Amino acid sequence: MSNLFARIGPGMMVAAVGVGVSHLVQSTRAGADFGLSLVWLVILVVVLKYPAFRFAVAYASATGRSLIYGYSRISKVALTWLGLASIVDMFIAPAAVALVTAGLVVSIFNVPYSAPVVAVGLLILSALILLNGHYMKAERIIKILVIAFSVLTVLAMIFALPLLGSDNRAIFADLNYDRSLLLFIIAVTGWMPMPLSGAIFQSKWICEKRKAMGAENFNYGQALTDLRIGYGLTLVLAICFVVMGTAVLFETDRVAPQNPGAFAAEMLSIFTTVFGRWMYPVISIAALAVMWSTLIALMDGSPRVVDRIASYTQQEPGQTRDRYTMFLAIQIVGTIVIILFLMGSFVTFLDFATSMGFAAAPAIAYYNYRAVTSPEIGPEFRPDAKLVAWSWISIISLTGFALSYFLFRFILV
């Protein structure tokens, strides 16, 4: 067991990116507002996005390089699409996650500061942790946090099952597919279980893991097992939060919270309803820890990706100068500006941030496929016919989601 714990890592980092806003917030909202009616959507989107992550593992294992290098070999257009996705990952996503994490801090500790101010403090503290250890320190922290929170969540879901349909409440909603529902569906799926750019992070983290452990100690088979554990966990936990949102909040007199602190209080109320008030200290700290782990994972991955994109864009693939610290600083400044000066409604901002996960998703799905089927990839790493078909279904479906978002968000207003 200890050997398995040591060998997993990048998959847990991916799970940490997923088990954040998409799960604690959007999955819970899906259950609270629509019961179990959107469970199919959660499962479908997680399945559709899987090939892109599988290809990330294959490419990094085959070449010892991240997908960013693969994109640079395809075309400058591919790098441009990746750069577009990086804008979301670099600034918008950390802002959303930092605000939710700050909401938990405000709710749990009743601090006399606003959530935006607390979010700024969390960003700076997270940066200091990353600068004092980079990837391996982040991985060790995140593995423990994600596993502990996952155990608590699964137990809470099991205990919540008897509450389904209690007080003669329904468990399914009568869905009216109007513009507001369609926009919410897009918001849920944009980050379910995470933005597709998480596959780029995955490939970069695999390279970091191989560098730390040695390629022979983290081979392709082990990397695939690591992905299946982490990615499978995101699906299980997403379903858990939809079920708990349905069991505790659906068809009650709840009013959707409009600020981070109230949002956090509602999330924590699910666990205290199921377990009792005695569980509050445990689950509140666990929820805060896993949200913080999401923030750390995002802040660790984005500067690495942007550094590589900048190198290949400037045609410096051989440069060894580490600009991680510089891009981390740029990320913090940009995220703080969004939090303090550019954010309007909290809920609206969360929906915008998660919806933007579709901005470059079809392109990433396509270019990941291109990278893993390029001539430099050996036959043992190439996808078989079933995985190729699965990938094309994913590319077409994600394109449809992305077009629907821009249609309903900006045209059919």
Over 60: is that where the pLDDT of 368 sits?
yes
The whole-chain average pLDDT of the chain stands at 84
- Rounded CA separation 227/8 (Å): 8
Q: State the pLDDT at residue 98.
A: 92
Task: Quickly tell me which residue has 């799970």 as its tokens.
Answer: 15
d(CA 308, CA 322): 10
Q: What is the pLDDT of residues 278-319, one digit of tens each?
A: 888 888 888 888 788 788 878 887 888 888 888 887 765 555
Judge whether residue 215 has pLDDT over 50.
yes
| Proportion of the chain above pLDDT 90, given as a percent | 31
Residue 392 to residues 260, 365, 395, 402: CA-CA distances in angstroms? 38, 9, 5, 15
**pLDDT for 123-173, tens place per residue?**
999 998 888 765 566 667 777 777 888 888 898 899 889 999 888 899 999
The span from the CA of 321 to the CA of 178, in Å, is 51
Is 231 buried (19+), middle (13-18) or exposed (0-12) by CB count in 10 A?
Answer: buried
**Residue 94 pLDDT > 80:** yes
| CA 241-242-244 angle, 5° bins | 60
CA distances from 65 to 61, 87, 200 (A): 8, 22, 11
Domains and CATH numbers, the chain: 2-411 (1.20.1740.10)
The predicted-structure confidence for 265-284, as pLDDT tens digits, reads as follows: 787 888 888 888 888 888 88
0.85 exceeded by the pTM? Answer: yes
